[in-house]
Structure 1
Amino acid sequence: MDSLLSWLFSSQEDELYILDLMAYFMVFMAVCTFFSLLFQNVPYGRYASSVYGFPVNVKFAWFIQEMPSLFLPLALVLWTSSAKTSLLPNQLLIAMFLCHYFQRTLIYPFLIRGGKPTPFASFALAFVFCIYNGYMQIRYLSHYAEYPAYWVSHPCFIAGSCLWLVGWLMNIHSDHILRNLRKPGETGYKIPRGGMFQYVSGANFLGEITEWAGFALAAHSIHSSAFAIFTTVVLTSRAMAHHKWYINKFEDYPKSRKALIPFVI
């Protein structure tokens, strides 16, 4: 891996410059995505369409598309001269990222029950994004990020880590509720209840937004912030679309339930 990176970048300064550009480009793409999602939903799941390519089995799609966010970071940590991985703040932040994608790659796909196939375009874009983001986050944290010795006791790191943990648990619990809506043999959609679904239609999305917002607060970098912004844009749109869909689908949908933020919106 070191020889490949040396071939791609003439110096460490050059690579860090590219990492910064990647982060700013992700923010730009978040803005573009925000405006595009005003006119259409992200085309997967209940919004899947053949317009976006042939269908890919949902379990296969989730497993393959998420893989780069787990295995590329592991390769960067294990098979490169990772100058900063001996430092505790960097270790903890890398562990947060890998913990999420271990669950998302090796556990979540195999727990899916049913699920509509994913259009190839959505699958391919997700795969590319995971390569892009996995490299950007972990290469920065493992080789360039510098934190003061007291950073793990800094309020930003503590608050961010707590937010990450709360969001991660909320996301996993919400997915569990969604998986168990139908009994064996049942089909069709049901109203999710319990957990944060008592308050919002997009409890799973709120969990993931909270998770990466906490990660960004703890990591304190443009790279982590760009990821949090992009995630917020995509999943907020998804939550709003789900909320509207539920209201139109079910006459008895809870009137007090909001789309994404309890008691607010």
Structure 2
Amino acid sequence: MELAEPSLLDALSYLECALGILIFVLLKLVGSPYGRYASQHSAWRLAAPTAWALQELPSLAVPLFLCAGTPAERLRRWPNRILLAMFIVHYVQRSLIFPFLIRGGKPTPLYSCVIAFVFCTYNGYVQSRYLSQYAEYADDWVTDPRFLTGFALWAAGMLINIHSDHILRNLRQPGETGYKIPRGGLFEYVSAANYFGELVEWCGYGLASWSVQGGAFALFTFCVLLPRAQEHHQWYLQKFENYPKFRKILIPFLF
């Protein structure tokens, strides 16, 4: 018997949780295949701005395509509109703005870009299809403490992420090479302030949506970003003798 789409979206969300845990284990075992950690012997590599734009674009294009191609009944309600807008706004910034601000950046292996592209297509479908067609919220959901807290976390997380990326882009002056210790913002407290911002953002989205789909994306984000943050933290400690020992890995005052 054919699986009804709401049940399919739930199943895909649980699968996303399982994939997140699997990726967490793989990243702990083999490390991150991008940036300074990527193999420079890969035959197929893309410039960093191109890779970022291509791999993130499905998370923007898929929701827009789905909403334009089919009647989006649930988007007549403000909670659904706002939640989907939260998702889309992030990926407007991530796929259309962030890549063009990158200064230099190491080439990205093609396989890494393809994996990210597939995930963004997958997750873009799950989040947008659920919110546009099946998510049921009362009109007063936008005043519920869970929504208000989640929206505030999402907004704060996005601002932290953007500000932290700005700090990283401006570590080197024109003509300078090599790596430097990030200073300012939440980098004074954690080694991966940009990742912390993104984690807060999607945890806020998950709370505001109060759904399996939103929660699965938040869990997946945590599973991917924590081992990357740990790898960054260890690299900084090994690279710089004067690296601040009090800095945590990902979450201020915790780890």
TM normalised by structure 2 equals 0.97
Distance (Å, rounded) in 1 between the aligned partners of 2:87 and 2:38: 28
Q: 1:218 to 1:52 in 2, by over 3 A?
A: farther
For residues 212 and 143 of structure 1, what CA distance do their matches in structure 2 show?
Answer: 21
Match of 1:142 in 2: 132
The equivalent of 1:5 in structure 2 is: none
- What code does the residue aligned with 1:67 have? L
Q: Give me the whole-angstrom Cα distance separating, in 2, the residues matched to 1:98 and 1:126.
A: 17
In structure 2, how many angstroms separate the alpha carbons of the residues matched to 1:211 and 1:51?
35
* 2:178 maps to 1:209: no
- Structure 2 match to 1:164: 154
Q: Confirm or deny: 8 A CA contact 1:53 1:121 kept in the other structure.
A: no
Matches within 5 A, 1:88-167: 88-167=78-157
CA distance 1:153–1:29, change in 2 (3 Å): same
* Distance apart, 1:51 and its partner CA: 6.4
The equivalent position to 2:171 in structure 1, one of 181, 202, 205, is: 181
Residue aligning to 1:227: 217
- Extract structure 1 runs of 4+ deviating beyond 3 A: 50-53
CA-to-partner distance for each residue in 1:77-116, whole Å, 9 max, x for gaps? Answer: 2221101011000010011001100000110000000100
Superposed displacement of residue 149, structure 1: 2.2
Where structure 2 has 5 or more consecutive residues not aligned to the other structure, the ranges are none
Q: 1:51 to 1:128 in 2, by over 3 A?
A: farther
Q: Aligned equivalents of 2:109 and 2:181: distance in 1?
A: 25
Query: Which residue of 2 is the match for residue 6 of structure 1?
Result: none
Q: Tell me, what secondary structure is at the counterpart of 1:107?
A: helix
- Residue 11 of structure 2 aligns with which residue? 21
Q: Is the partner of 1:263 in helix, strand or coil? A: coil
Residues 97-151 of structure 1: per-residue CA shift (max 9 Å, x gap): 0110000011000000010001111100000001000010001001100012221
SS at match of 1:85: helix
Q: Percent identity?
A: 54
3-state SS of 1:81 partner = coil
Deviations 1:18-61 (A, max 9, x none): 11111011111112112212212220011111566521111111
CA distance in 1, matches of 2:28, 2:97: 32
- 2:12 and 2:32 map into 1 onto residues whose CA distance is 22
- Pairwise CA RMSD: 1.4
- What residue identity is the alignment partner of 1:155? P
Whole-angstrom distance in 2 between the partners of 1:65 and 1:34: 20
Letter in 2 for 1:87: R
Equivalent position amino acid for 1:248 in 2: Q
Give 1:240 deviation, angstroms. Answer: 0.8
Change (3 A) 1:30 1:51: farther
Equivalence for 2:58 = 68
Q: Where does the alignment leave 5 or more consecutive residues of structure 1 unmatched?
A: 1-8
Q: Which residue of 2 aligns with 1:47?
A: 37
Q: How many residues are matched?
A: 255
User: Structure 1 residue 15: deviation in Å?
Assistant: 1.4
Code of the aligned partner of 2:253: F
Identify if the C-alpha distance between structure 1 residues 83 and 31 changes in structure 2 by more than 3 Å, giving closer, same or farther. Answer: same
1:264 alignment partner in structure 2: 254
